[in-house]
Amino acid sequence: MSFFVFLPLILLSGFMFPYAGMPTAVQYRAEVLPLTHFMRLIRGIMLRGGSLLDLWPDAAALLVFTMAMMALSIRRFRKRLD
Reported as a single tens digit per residue, the pLDDT across 34-78 is 999 999 999 999 998 888 888 999 999 999 999 999 999 999 988
Residue 26 lies in a domain: yes
Q: Is residue 65 part of a domain?
A: yes
Neighbours of 61 (CB within 10 A): 19
Question: What is the extent of the structural domain holding 42?
Answer: 2-76
Cβ–Cβ contacts within 10 Å for residue 41, how many? 19
Q: How far apart are CA 42 and CA 4, in angstroms?
A: 25
Q: How many domains does the chain have?
A: 1
Residue 81 maps to a domain = no
71 lies in a domain?
yes
Question: Cα(36)–Cα(10) distance, rounded to whole angstroms?
Answer: 8
Integer Cα distance of 49 and 7 in angstroms? 28
Q: How many residues does the chain have?
A: 82
The pTM score is: 0.81
